[in-house]
Amino acid sequence: MIVPLGTVRLSQSIIVPMREMVAGLKQTTWFSTGKSGIPAAPDNIVLRPLEPFVNLLEVDRIRKSFNGHVAVNDLSFEIRTGEVLGLLGPNGAGKTTTMSIIAGLLTPDDGHLRYRGEAVIGNSSALKTELGVVPQDLAIYPDLTAQENLTFFGRLYGLRGQQLDQRIRFALDRSGLTANAARLAKTFSGGMKRRLNFACGLLHEPKLLMLDEPTVGVDPQSRAYLLDCVRQLRDDGVTVLYASHYMEEVEGISDRVVIIDHGQLVTSGTQEELLGKLPIDIRLRFAGDAPPLAASLSTIEGVAAVEPPIQNSTADFTTVIRTRVTASDNADLCGLLGQIFNVATARGCSVLSVTTNDSNLERLFLELTGRRLRD
Amino acid sequence: MGFLEITRKDLTLLVRDRRALVVLLLLPMAFICILGLSTGRLLGWRNDNQLLKLGVVDNCDSLHSGLIIARMQAIDGIKTVRVTSLTEADERLNDRDITAAVVIGEQFESTVGILKPQDIFDVSEARMKISLEDVDIQIHSRPAAAMVHSVVDQLVLFCTLQAVLPDAARRSTMQSTVTNLLMGNSESETAKPGPSDKLTTTADAKSTTSAKPDNETSTTELAEADREAEPGNPVYQTLVPAYTVMFAFFLVPIMGRSFIAERELGTLRRLRIAPISAVDLVLGKTIPFLVISLAQSAALFLFGRLLFGMSWGIQPLLLIPIVACTSLAATGMGLLIATLVRTDSQVSAYANFLVITMAGISGCFMPREWLPEVMQTVSLGTPHAWSLIAYHEALSTPTPDISTIARSCGVLSVYAAALASLGCWKMSGSRD
């Protein structure tokens, strides 16, 4: 983002809104934020939120290891009613193990899970009934039709008769598969299979829906459709735990984000809170007598680098100030910039522009988990 | 009741899996046909050159004459044809259409009707006191076939004794002693035989049964039973149950593949996440195969009767517990193997090897009595062997020993319970 400033002197009144503007970049996402014709739940389908912002599920210091390898280590976070919680982490971070523990597929070596305030490990029937899971890999029967798949999974959750028919119609409608209900799932495209996989997970009106990278390998249209479905579900009051590698997706739909790595919690909070922790790179371009200014700027603490002056026809040059700023550091940032501008003024230079890097989850993720390749 | 949903789903998938149906239903029939053909017995056809073809002139047409004819038919290698008169019999002898003629005279029934054991046997000298002529039965053969005449004479005498002795014994207070002497059974020999001991010939079994001193079955009932008991084609009496047992256990790899498919599809995780118990899951994954196994066995026995002329034995209802217990054992083994194997290759390598090896050593490929004694004993470690023993008892003996069948079914049930328990235990410890 480039903010043309001309020769205007920057003051603190300008800098503070700039931080908000940087944080606001998260709202620029690549996918459609429209509803794409996603049907809302009919009135007779109860998708109502529980008490908002009550902890629906609490993960309390759970630990799980396999053959000496610790997959999840003392991990704690909570999922609040009615929110979409993004679960981020590189490969092998422990996301799937964590979700498997929540789903009751694995028993943790230590720690507790509490669903609506009650411990569920070893007795997860209450959670199982209200939990919907859309696994990372497809989990449908290719030799059954879409309708048969939904009927089977619906019956497993105790749906019968009219209620089952109604739920199947709703799930088919929401996943855009009504016209293909009688086709065998093996004849579906990848995107249609993903949508059927999704529909199977939400058929029984789950209060908590866990999605483990549900958009892997689907075309942009199906991806946008699925994400719109998640938003619609949130609007309907369903609590969602959404694990993904796609930062844009998580940015677009999550109310809060949990980042884990090596089985441990790295950070958690709302996107605003997390992005506030992200270092901001500010690049300043000056016009004027470059070498003396560059030499002076290099001596200022907080200036990360001063690039060699670039001579051009207008004799302007660029220098870069890179500093790590958090929300509580606004005063420092203002002081630093004030110091720089004073030096520039003293040297007879003017500010041509101020440029900042995008501040988004992907940068935050890489900052927190590093750029090293994961197995 | 989640298991019912899983059962319904798996049955739907199985019915849609034509390859599995071919393996389970058509393949065993093909095997039976091929082996029937190779032994010259397909669809009841047999090579007449290998048979002793006897023309029977039954001028008496009584209960005991009918029994004699039925017993002759039950002997492998003998084919009987009804001939209306002695003249026709001689003509057919001359035409070499029959090997010998057995003529049962009009006085036969009145003669044997008054016989007592002491009239038949000289106990003090341990020899027969009567011949066929004494009971108005004549053997006609070509003059040059003296050897054949002697053989047929002895066979018909043997069958006659089997037919008339029970009634004769009833008329005598010597019943117990005489019948034991006649059949060469000491008290120790009449003790309950072990499983391998039961593998006697049909005729031996009949003799043993008839000679039981505490046998409460009346002679009339026995006679009726003998008339009702169709001997069936002896080849198929062995082949059909053998391949029914073998292919019942072919469910093992198919069950293994079903679990692998469920695991690879990711649906096993979804099932485990659903609010159903582990018992529901195990039952739901097992019952469809039990149903298929029962249907498979029923179909093979039905085809065996309709196409191959096999007999379902004197008490067809006895087949039901045997079929059920065999299927239970097969599905129990299938469940265990399904939880052990992780890939399709492992199914091919382990499950098929196990199933074929067990079928081989248990006597599915050849009659158990052909196996060396040590192998017959070793094979009792397989469920197949117990199933074959029970089938043999039910299908090939005129008065099946219920205790032998019950014991075999009991062992099969124990196998089923133990294998299924191990499978459940393995499944509960599985991560996926």
Q: Do B275 and A129 touch (CB under 8 A)?
A: yes
User: Which residues on A lie below 8 Å from B269 (Cβ)?
Assistant: 103, 105, 133, 135, 139
Residue B274 to residue A156, Cβ atoms within 8 A? yes
Most confident of A243-247, A330-334, B161-165, B384-388: B384-388
Distance from CA of A128 to the nearest CA of B (A): 5
Nearest CA in chain B to A149: B9
User: B12 vs A105: CB contact, 8 Å cut-off?
Assistant: no
**Contact yes or no for A155 and B269 at CB 8 A:** no
Phi, psi of A85, rounded to the nearest 5 degrees = -105, 120
Task: Provide φ and ψ at B185, rounded to 5°.
Answer: -100, 125
Question: What pTM was computed for the model?
Answer: 0.64
Of A36-40, B98-102, B231-235, the one with minimum mean pLDDT is A36-40
Strand pairing report for A280-287 and A316-323:
antiparallel
What residues in chain B have their Cβ under 8 A from chain A's Cβ atoms? 2, 5-6, 8-9, 12-13, 16-17, 265-267, 269-276, 431-432
Determine which of A9-18, B110-119, B285-294, B394-403 has the lowest per-residue pLDDT on average.
A9-18
The 10s digit of each residue's pLDDT in B8-24 is 998 898 888 888 777 77
CB–CB contact A141 B267 (8 Å): yes
Q: Do B265 and A139 touch (CB under 8 A)?
A: yes
Query: Minimal Cα–Cα distance from A145 to chain B, Å?
Result: 11
Number of A/B CB contacts below 8 angstroms equals 62
A140 interfaces chain B, CB cutoff of 8 Å: yes
Q: Which range among A340-349, B16-25, B219-228, B406-415 shows the weakest confidence by mean pLDDT?
A: B219-228
**Residue with more model confidence, A102 or B172:** A102
Cβ <8 Å between B431 and A200: no
A153 contacts B276? CB cut-off 8 A: no
How large is the average pLDDT for residues B77-81? 82
Amino acid A348: pLDDT? 81
Question: In the prediction, which pLDDT does A350 show?
Answer: 79
d(CA B246, CA B193): 25
Q: Spell out which residues of chain B touch residue A131, defining contact as CB-CB under 8 Å.
A: 273
How many other CB atoms sit within 10 Å of the CB of residue A272? 12
Point out the residue among B6, B275, B431 whose CB comes nearest to the CB of A157: B275
Residues of A in contact with B276 (CB under 8 A): 156
HSE, side-chain direction, 13 A CA sphere, residue B279: 1
- Where residue B39 falls among pLDDT bands split at 50, 70, 90? low
Instruction: For B363, list phi and psi in degrees, rounded to 5.
Output: 110, 20
pLDDT of residue A164: 94
CB contact (8 A) between residue A139 and residue B9: no
End-to-end CA distance of chain A: 34
Average pLDDT value over all residues in chain B: 78
Cβ contact A156:B273 at 8 Å? no
Chain B CA closest to residue A144: B13
Residue A186's closest chain B neighbor by CA? Answer: B265
What sign results for the dihedral spanned by CA atoms B302, B306, B309, B313? positive
Contact yes or no for A211/A194 (Cβ under 8 A): no
Residue-level pLDDT at B196? 37
Hey, is the C-beta of A129 within 8 angstroms of any chain B C-beta?
A: yes
All residues of chain B having their beta carbon less than 8 Å from the beta carbon of residue A158 are 275
- The answer to whether the CB atoms of A140 and B265 lie below 8 A apart is yes
Q: What is the pairing mode between strands A350-356 and A280-287?
A: antiparallel
CA distance A254 to chain B (A): 24
Distance of residue B2 Cα from the nearest chain A Cα, in angstroms: 6
Q: In the prediction, which pLDDT does B189 show? A: 40
Residue A274, chain B, CB below 8 Å: the answer is: no
CB contact under 8 Å between A104 and B276, yes or no, is no
What residue in A sits closest to B263 (Cα-Cα)?
Answer: A139
Burial B151-171 (b: 16+ CB within 10 A, else e): bbbebbbbbbbbbbbbbbbee
The reported pLDDT for the residue numbered A109 is 92
Instruction: Assign B220 a pLDDT band (cuts: 50, 70, 90).
Output: very low
Residue B222 pLDDT class (50, 70, 90 cuts): very low
The two beta strands, A110-115 and A55-66, are antiparallel
Q: Quote the pLDDT of residue A218.
A: 79
> Which parts of chain A register pLDDT below 70?
1-53, 121-124, 279-281, 304, 307-331, 357-359, 370-375
CA–CA dist B371, B389 (Å, integer): 13
CA-closest candidate to residue B4, choices B286, B393, B417, B377: B286
The DSSP code for B418 is H
Contact criterion met (CB < 8 Å) for A135 and B266: yes
- Using an 8 Å Cβ cutoff, are A215 and A136 in contact? no
At residue B341, the pLDDT reads 84
